[in-house]
A and B are shown apart, each in its own frame.
Chain A
Amino acid sequence: MGVGANLAPAEKRSHEAQVAGAMSGFARETGALSAFRLESCIHCGICADACHFYIATEDPQYTPIWKVEPFKQAYKREASAFAPLFRLLGLKREVTADQLAQWQHLLFDSCNMCGRCSLICPMGIDVAALIEQARHAMFEAGLAPAELYQKAAHQQLTGQPESSAEPYRDKLLAIGQQFGVEIPLDKPQAEVMLCVPRTDIEHYPASVAALARVMQHLQVSCTFRSDGLVAENYGYYAGGMAWQRDISRRLIDQAIACHASILLVPECGHAYAALRWEAADLYGKPLPFRVLQVSEFLAEQLASGRLKLRPSGTGATTFQDPCESARKGGVNHAPRALMKAMGIELHEQKNHGGFSFCCGGGGGVLDIERAAPLRYRTMENKLREIDDTGASTFLTSCSDCRRTFDDAKTHFDWQKTPQSLLELIADNLMGAAPRT
C-alpha cells in the first residue's frame, strides 16, 4: 500500500491540500441520497461476502463498505445532522493524508466497481455508488493511481488514452482494408453513430470489422467520427469527473454533429455505464439521442425481424456478463436473446447474469500493474466457475473482459479463449455471403 510513486505525476501536493481536495470532492457529491446510504450502514460486514477480493483472500480490509470508511467518517463529522456536536465534542477525527494514502490501494487496486456488494447489503445500500463517489474524492486529492491518471489525462487532451504510432482514425481504416469491410467515417449525417473500444483497435481488430460488417448487413445508416472514436472513458476509471465529462463530450458532440438518433456503444461495459447512465448528468441536460449497447441494438433488430441469425454451431457455451452493462447497466436480456437466436446451448456459470463475478479487470484494475497479483488471486475462482460449466466456447461482450481473460490465459495457462459475441453474430448473419 505504498504511496510515493503512485501519486499521480504533477500532483506533488501538500498533505493538507490532499485532504482538502478529497474532502471537497466528496462533499460536492454528498447529497441526501449519499448521506442516507452512509447513515444506513449497520456494520454487519455482509458486503464482504459478495466481494471477490475478500472471498479470494479472506482479508477483512477488502470489505466493500470499509473502502469508503474515511469518507463515512468525514460525512459524520462534516455534514450529518449532529456534525456540529461531533466537531464541538471532538467525537469524530479528521481524515488524514496517511489514511487517504492507505485507502488508495483499497479503492483502486482492490475494487472492480462491479456492484455485487450493492446486491447483498441487507440495508439496501448501493455500496458501489459510494465507492465511485470516494474514487472521485481520491482523484481530487491527487491520489488516483498513476496508470489511470495518465491515460485519463491523455484521453482528455487527445481523445486517445495512449499515443499510438498511427492515429486511431487511420488504424480504423486499415482494419477495414484488412478485413474487407467498408468503414463509414465522418459522414455528415447518420442514424447511428459508432465508436470502438481502443482495446479492440489495438488487440481485437476483428471485432471492429464485425461491428462494421453487421451494420452494413443491416443496412443501417451509420458512421464513425474521427473526433469521437474511442468508447472507453478513462476519466471514469480514474475518478476525474471533469475529465470524464470532457471525454464523453467528444462522443456527444460528434453524435449531435452527425444528427444521430442513436449512439451505439460497442462491446465495452464501462463505456456503456459512462454514456448511458452518467453522461447526461455531466452534460447538464438530457442527451438528444438514445444510447444503446450493441447487443441491445441487435436484439431490437432481432425482435423486429430485421436481423436473422444462423445457428452458430459452437457447442456448449458459457457467457461472461460484463458487470457495468449487465448487472449495473440493465443489459441482461439482449445477449441471451441473440445467443438463443443462434441456437447456442448456453451453460450458465454458478454465478451468472446479474450475480456474475467480475472478470477481475474492471474499474481500471487491469491497467494497474501493482494490482496484478491480487487480481490473479480473484480470478482463480472465476476461471474455475467457467471451467465447471463444461462449456467449450466462452463468449463475452466486453473487450476489457476479453483482454483480462486473455491475460489470465497466459498467466494460468488456461485452456479457454474468450471470444466476442459480436464477432460470432457477424459470422452467422443469415442472408449474408459466407465470409472467406
Chain B
Amino acid sequence: MLHTDAHITVGEMLRRHGISRRGFIKFCTATASAMALPPEMGVAMADQLRGAVRPSVIYLSFQECTGCLESLTRSFAPTIESLIFNVISLDYDDTLMAAAGGAAESARDKAMHDNFGKYVLVVDGSVPTGAGGGYCMAGGRSAEDILREAAKGAAAIVCVGTCAAFGGIPFADPNPTQAWPVTAIVGDKPIINVSGCPPIPEVITGTLLQFVTTGKVPDLDEHLRPKVFFGNTIHDRCYRRPFYDQGKFAKTFDDEGARNGWCLYELGCKGPTTYNACATIKWNGGTSFPIESGHGCLGCSEPGFWDQGSFYAAQSAAAWGKAGEAVPRKVMEVAAAAVVTGGALGVGSAGVSRMRQRRSEQDAIDRKSDGG
C-alpha cells in the first residue's frame, strides 16, 4: 500500500524504485508533450518533481460508482502511474487506503490541518442535498459538510469525472437525491473539472501533474475543463470524419456501412458536440476508443449528457420526448391539435370577414349612390 512518507523527496522515491533520472525525464517529457507543453518543460518538470516535497492530496468520493478511480488505477503503465502516487502524497482515499473508520478520518483531518492552504482536493461523485444530506454520509457527516470543510484549506479542487464536474448520472432527470456538482457547493476556490464517465486515465494524471508541478491552474474552457484535453470535439479529431463529410453513414449496427467503418452519426454519435481527448489519446494506452470499436460517442464528458435524448438518435434529431419516447407519434398529436385549432380559428375569421362584407354591402345599399 501507499506510504505517506511526507519527508521523502520524489527523487529519493524514484531512486528507491530503480527509476533512473533519464527514465523519469523521458516520462515527464512525454507527459509534457501530451499536454502541448514544450519539450524543455519535461526536463524542468522532472527536476522540479525530483526535488519536490510530495504535495498532499486528499481524495474524496461522494455519490459515485468508483469508475473514475478505477480508470485512474487501470492505467497502462502501472509502474509509471503508481510513481505518480509516490510523487504525490495521497493522504486520504477511502477506497484505496488500508485504514478505515475513525483512523481514516483522523488521518485526513491531520493531513488537512498540517497542509492547510496547500493540499490538492480531488473529488469524484456528485453531492446530494436531498433528505438533509442523508443520501451520502460517511462518519456521520453528510457529503456536503465534508466537502465544504475540506474545501476550506484546499489550494485547488480537481473534480474527477462527470458526476463531480456536472452532477453526472445522479443529477439526471428526475434527480431524486437532489445531487449537485462540486461547483454548486464550492465557489471560492480554483476548480478544475476533469469530466468524462470516466475520464481517460492520462487526462487525470496529466492534469494533476501539471498543477502539482507548476502550482498554476491550466487554461480552462467555460466548463472549467483543461483546454489542452477538452479543447477539441471528438468530431474534430475523429478518424471517421471523411465518411461524415461524404455522407456515408452506418444505418444499423453491424450493417455493411458499420463494417466498413462508416460514420456513426445516424446511430447517435454525439462526437460533434463532445469535448474530450478520446479520439487522440484514446483508451487503454492508445488501443481504441468507442467510435473505433463501432459505437457512437455518448457525450459522457458533457454536462447533462444523460438527458439529451436517446444515445442512438442522431444528433440532429428533435429532442422532444424523453429518451425512448416515439417522437413521430408526438409530432402527429401536436400537429393534429394545431390543425384543428387553426381550422377553427379560420372558420371564425372567415365568419367575421363575411359578416363585415355583408355589413359593408348593406351600407352601400343604404348610401345614396348614383352609380348603383
Contacting pair B372 A241 (CB below 8 A)? yes
CB distance from A370 to the nearest CB of B (A): 21
Known: A28-B357, A78-B353, A79-B356. A243 touches B364 (CB 8 A): no
Select from chain B the residue with minimum beta-carbon distance to A30. Answer: B357
Per-residue contact bits, chain A 133-171, to B (CB 8 Å; 1 contact, 0 not): 000000110101000010000000000000000000000
Q: Is A27 an interface residue (CB 8 A)?
A: yes
Instruction: Mark out the residues of chain B between 341 and 372 whose CB falls within 8 Å of any chain A CB in the assembled complex.
Output: 345-346, 349-350, 352-353, 356-357, 360-361, 363-364, 367, 369-372
Report the minimal beta-carbon distance from A325 to chain B, rounded to whole angstroms. Answer: 27
Give residues of chain A (110-133) contacting chain B, Cβ–Cβ below 8 Å. Answer: none
Contact A140 B349 (CB under 8 A): no
- Please name all residues of chain A whose beta carbon is closer than 8 Å to the beta carbon of B352 when the two chains form the complex: 83-84
**CB neighbours of A82 from chain B (8 A):** 349
Tell me, yes or no, whether A25 is within 8 Å of chain B by CB.
yes
Is there contact, CB below 8 Å, between A25 and B364?
A: yes
User: Which one of B346, B350, B353, B364 lies within 8 Å of A140 (CB-CB)?
Assistant: B364
CB 8 Å contact bits of A67-96 with B (1 = contact, 0 = none):
000000000001111111000000000000
Q: Does A81 contact B349, Cβ atoms closer than 8 Å?
A: yes
Complex contact B369–A27 (CB within 8 A): no
Min Cβ gap B292→A in Å is 51
A360 interfacial by beta-carbon distance below 8 Å: no
| A27 in contact with B371 (CB, 8 Å) | no
Given contacts A84-B352, A139-B371, A243-B372, contact A24 B346 (CB under 8 A): no
Say whether, besides A240-B371, A240-B372, A241-B372, A23 and B360 are in contact (CB < 8 Å). yes
Q: Are A79 and B364 in contact, CB atoms less than 8 angstroms apart? A: no
Cβ–Cβ < 8 Å partners of A81 in chain B: 345-346, 349-350
What is the size category of the interface that chain B forms with chain A?
10 to 19
Check B369 against A21 for contact (C-beta < 8 Å): yes
Whether A21 lies near B357 (C-beta < 8 A) is no
Chain A: interface secondary structure?
helix
Residues of B within 8 A of A17 (CB): 367
For the complex formed, measure the closest distance between the CB of A44 and the CB atoms of chain B, giving whole angstroms: 27
A27 to B353, CA, bound (A): 9
Flag whether A55 is at the interface (Cβ < 8 A).
Answer: no
- What sequence of 0s and 1s flags, for each residue 54-75 of chain B, a beta carbon within 8 Å of any chain A beta carbon? 0000000000000000000000
Of B350, B363, B370, which is within 8 A of A24 by CB?
B363
User: Which B230-255 residues have a C-beta within 8 angstroms of A?
Assistant: none
* 8 Å CB contact of A242 from B346, B356, B372: B372
Chain B proximity of A133: nearest CB distance (Å): 13
| Docked-complex contact B360 and A24, CB < 8 angstroms | yes
* Nearest B residue to A142, CB-CB: B371
> B356 touching A27 by the CB < 8 A rule?
yes
Interchain CB contact under 8 A, B353 and A242: no
Name the prevailing secondary structure of the B interface residues: helix
Question: Are A27 and B360 in touch, CB under 8 angstroms?
Answer: yes
Residue contact A79 to B357, C-beta cutoff 8 Å: yes
Determine whether the beta carbon of A24 is less than 8 Å from that of B361: yes
- State in angstroms the CA–CA spacing of A82 and B367 once bound together: 29
Residue pair B353, A79 in contact (C-beta under 8 Å): yes
Q: Does A433 contact B (CB under 8 A)?
A: no
CA distance A28 to B352 in the complex (A): 14
Write the nearest CB–CB distance from B366 to chain A, whole angstroms. Answer: 10
A42 within 8 A of B: no
Instruction: State whether the Cβ of A20 lies closer than 8 Å to any Cβ in chain B.
Output: yes
B349, B350, B361, B371: the one contacting A28 at CB < 8 Å is B361
Q: How far is the CA of A191 from the CA of B357 in the complex (A)?
A: 43
CB < 8 Å: which of A10, A25, A83 contacts B370? Answer: A10
A83 touching B364, Cβ below 8 Å: no
Q: How far is the CA of A83 from the CA of B364 in the complex (A)?
A: 21
Distance in angstroms from B162 CB to nearest chain A CB is: 48
CB distance from B198 to the nearest CB of A (A): 55
Task: Enumerate chain B residues within 8 angstroms of A30, measured Cβ to Cβ.
Answer: 357
Interface residue? A182 (CB, 8 A): no
The docked-state distance in angstroms from the alpha carbon of A23 to that of B360 is 8
**What is the CB-to-nearest-CB distance from B356 to chain A, in angstroms, rounded to a whole number?**
6
Interface residue A11 (Cβ < 8 Å from any Cβ of B): yes
Contacts of A24 in B (CB 8 A): 360-361, 363-364
B349: contacting residue among A27, A83, A144, A240, CB under 8 A: A83
Q: Give CA–CA (A78, B345) in the complex, Å.
A: 16
Q: How far is the CB of B368 from chain A (nearest CB, A)?
A: 9
- The residues of A that contact B361 with a CB separation of less than 8 Å are 24, 27-28
Tell me the smallest distance from the CB of B131 to a CB of chain A, in Å: 51
Near B by CB (< 8 A), chain A positions 2-28 give 8, 10-11, 17, 20-21, 23-25, 27-28
Question: What is the bound-complex CA distance between A49 and B164, given in angstroms?
Answer: 69
What is the CA–CA distance of A294 and B13 in the complex, to the nearest angstrom?
118
Bound: A241/B371 CA distance, A: 9
Min distance, Cβ B245 to any Cβ of chain A, angstroms: 36
In the bound complex, residues from chain B placing their C-beta under 8 Å from that of A80 are 349, 353
Contact residues in B for A28 (Cβ distance below 8 Å):
357, 360-361, 364
Bound state CA distance, A149 and B369, in angstroms?
14
Give Cα A11 to B367, complex, Å: 13
Known: A8-B371, A10-B370, A142-B370. 10 other contacts (CB 8 A): A20-B367, A27-B357, A28-B361, A78-B353, A83-B349, A83-B353, A84-B352, A140-B369, A240-B371, A240-B372
In the A-B complex, the 4 residue pairs with the smallest Cβ-Cβ separation, listed nearest first, are A242-B372, A24-B364, A24-B360, A79-B353
- B residues contacting A by CB (< 8 A) are 345-346, 349-350, 352-353, 356-357, 360-361, 363-364, 367, 369-372
Ordered by A's residue number, 27 sampled pairs between the chains whose C-beta atoms are within 8 Å are A10-B370, A17-B367, A20-B360, A20-B363, A21-B364, A21-B369, A24-B360, A24-B361, A24-B364, A25-B364, A27-B361, A28-B364, A78-B356, A80-B349, A80-B353, A82-B349, A83-B349, A83-B353, A84-B349, A84-B352, A140-B369, A140-B371, A142-B371, A144-B371, A240-B371, A241-B372, A242-B372
